[in-house]
Amino acid sequence: MLRSPAAAVPDEALIAGQWRRGAGAPAETVDPATGLVLATVHAVSVAEVDEAAEGAARAAADPAWRSLLPHLRARLLHRTADLIDESAEHLAALQTADTGKALTETRALVASAAGTFRYTAAALETAEEAITPSRGDYVTMSRYEPIGVVGAINPWNSPVASDAQKLAPALAGGNAVLLKPAEWTPLVSLALGRLITRAIGELGLPAGLLSVLPGRGSVVGDAIVRHPLTGKVTFTGGTDTGRTIAHAAAEKLMPVSLELGGKSPTIVLADADIEQALAGVMFGIFSSSGQSCVAGSRLFVARELYDSFVGRLVERVEELRVGPGTAPDTQVAPLVHHKHRDSVAAHVERARGEGARVLCGGSVPPGDAYRDGAYYLPTVLAGLDNTSLTCQEEIFGPVLVALDFDGEEDLVRQANDSVYGLACGIWTRDHRAAWRIARRIDAGTVWINTYKQFSITTPFGGLKDSGLGREKSRDGIRAYQRQKSLYWGTSDAPLPWAN
């Protein structure tokens, strides 16, 4: 492959406050729109993970950080948010180059990352330690203290937003962080690390508060999880990897937060606003080229509406504009990597083997403009039962399966017939039906007449095989702290058996 003519990109690891080339194997990161190499990033070695963990432990224990009052700790988050804003266009372009996402989306993700740091700083400044009701001659208090070293392992689909969602509350909680970016997309995480270390230096804080450690998850990620100094791991990614991390954490009796896979149902009732539902269903599955844990990949349409709705949907999907993320009119950008594109294509071929009818898409787009990129056409499948492998397994690409249902009981049964429970969308004018169905669906997030809307103020997480714990909101900071109970005696009388 040729090397991209793009401007210089970050290619050094951050190890205990020092920027240098990792001692591990090199890996090329590739622009999925062109197939051109963006950079060669050397993985860190296991010994360098040890070095980073030891540096993080020292930084976390340093009184200059551990004893810093919350409103002063918040200064780091506020400064980081400002630096992200100042570098917003560079970060967005870098993430588009590294992941293939459309610039309109990466700009929004960068703005979200800045907002996450800013909100978390505000939440930290207003955090309270509660005086709890006493049941005797004492005062009781809940105190929240840092865990120490936190391992944060993120996926390749939305690195800048995912990084902020973990780094901001972990740092707010008074910890030091070992960040492991995805092997395919490390560049924006390394760039964000530059901004945070700049803020750390400006404020005179311990240099080891953040390390950014690129490499393979089976080597670097595993070393972070199993390191004796790591006190908590937060992971976003595949369910199988999440289970492996949970097993390792169980051996250490270490807390984990796991945001895992999904096979989310999106539901169109017979009375839905058709135009709103068509746009929402398409946005729910084809934005981010379907590479989203909450993608609405199973479409359930009321039987009496099914044929007309799916027919109109296919017409609209065939009009979607497929192209590079840098093109202003692109609606479906390339997938993150050629290997992932091939995996999505293999899923569709298996669906054909299961009896699926390909209503549109189902192939790489023709033409020289798409020859070198990791493109795949937005695809709608029909003719499958919800029990098929295609309807049960996460594809993580622009592939939608259309199914029908006959009544609420049939709908809820099919929608909940999944090992996953991350998200759901409901399209209807009937607020009573929406409320009733939303409460019956096994999902951590339910959208009604909208989809893929997020707020840092609102908890996010899944049920069943979609994960453990919650991120975001004011409680997100507490997830990176240990609670301690304090009792202060108020009576001068000795305890009953003191004499």
Active centre residues (catalytic): 259, 293
CA angle 174, 178, 181 (to 5 degrees): 130
CA atoms of 177 and 229, how far apart (whole Å): 11
Say how far residue 50 (Cα) sits from the centre of its chain: 26
Q: Count H helices, E strands: the chain? A: 16, 22
The residues near 202 (Cβ < 8 Å, ≥ 6 apart) are 79
Assigned token pair, 160: 């800048």
CA atoms of 85 and 114, how far apart (whole Å): 6
CA atoms of 95 and 312, how far apart (whole Å): 33
The residues that bridge with 424 in the sheet, in sequence order, are 446
CA atoms of 329 and 284, how far apart (whole Å): 18
- For 234-258, letters b (16+ CB in 10 Å) and e give bbbbbbebbebbbebbeebebbbbb
Q: How many CB atoms lie within 10 A of CB 291?
A: 23
- 367: exposed, middle or buried (Cβ count in 10 Å: 0-12, 13-18, 19+): exposed
Angle between helices 159-172 and 187-202 (to 10 degrees): 30
Q: Are 226 and 145 in contact (CB under 8 A)?
A: no
Q: Are 207 and 197 in contact (CB under 8 A)?
A: yes
**Nearest-10 Cα torsion for 441, 442, 448, 452:** -150
Q: Are 117 and 88 in contact (CB under 8 A)?
A: no
**C-alpha separations of 252 from 47, 122, 211, 230 in Å:** 20, 33, 22, 10
Q: Are 394 and 420 in contact (CB under 8 A)?
A: yes
SS3 category, 352: helix
The residues near 43 (Cβ < 8 Å, ≥ 6 apart) are 22, 24, 25, 26, 27, 183, 214, 215, 216, 219, 220
